[in-house]
Amino acid sequence: MEKSRLDIGSLVKEVVGHLSGAAQKKNIGLFFSADEALTVAGDPAKLRHLFLNILDNALKCTPPEGKIIVHVRRNQGWAKIEIRDTGPGIAESELPHIFDRFFRGGEGRRQGDFGLGLCLAKSIAEAHRGKIEVTSRVSQGTSFTVLLPLAEN
């Protein structure tokens, strides 16, 4: 990895902007906000890939007229990036497996996914000394939270 100091909010905003056309085509509201500039030490290309994987999944699963909300904020010594969608949610029985390699939940089976995106996202987060968490309720959507340690001054 080629780590450098970067504003994680700007990087996530760039990824959101990259996917805004696809969201418009599906008539999905894609919203971004950041409370402040937050600096992390990370590999920009790998972090872009992490957020692209999560947001791409959200776009695939969110129905037309749905919303995807991305918020970046400080949480003590962490940059907390939350990505919430109004998709169909993930069954409770599938939640423990969604980061497993080759696991394809209900939506993935229908769309021909290979089941590697979330496994890769988790690996990238952990390589940056961070973590990724998910909460979901069927018929109410899914929320992914990525926590990355803030860079020391």
Domain holding 123: CATH number?
3.30.565.10
Quote the domain boundaries for residue 79: 4-149
pLDDT 10s digits, 74-120: 999 999 999 999 999 988 888 877 876 766 565 544 455 556 678 89
pLDDT at 152: 80
User: So what's the pLDDT on residue 131?
Assistant: 97
> Per the structure, how many domains does the chain have?
1
- How much is the pLDDT for 108? 44
Q: Which of 141, 145, 142, 106 is nearest to 125 (CA)?
A: 145
More confident residue, 115 or 125: 125
DSSP state of 37: -
- Please give the radius of gyration of the chain, using alpha carbons only, rounded to the nearest integer: 15
Please name the helix (run of DSSP H) or strand (run of DSSP E) that holds residue 149, with its range, or none.
strand 141-149
Question: pTM, whole model, 2 decimals?
Answer: 0.89
Within 10 angstroms of residue 140's Cβ, the number of other Cβ atoms is 12
* Contact between 46 and 12 (Cβ < 8 Å): no
Higher pLDDT, 107 or 134: 134
pLDDT of residue 50 exceeding 80: yes
pLDDT, greater one: 57 or 103? 57
Distance CA 75, CA 80 (A): 6
Q: What is the pLDDT of residue 12?
A: 98
Identify which of 55, 82, 79 has the alpha carbon closest to the alpha carbon of residue 71. 82
Q: What is the pLDDT of residue 109?
A: 41
Are β-strands 131-137 and 67-75 bridged in parallel, bridged antiparallel, or unpaired? unpaired
Interval 16-47: pLDDT, tens: 999 999 999 999 999 999 999 999 999 999 99
Say whether pLDDT at 8 is over 90. Answer: yes
Residue 110's pLDDT is what?
46
Give me the sheet containing 141-149, strands edge to edge: 29-34, 67-75, 78-85, 141-149, 131-137
Residue 88 and residue 84: Cα distance in Å, rounded?
A: 12
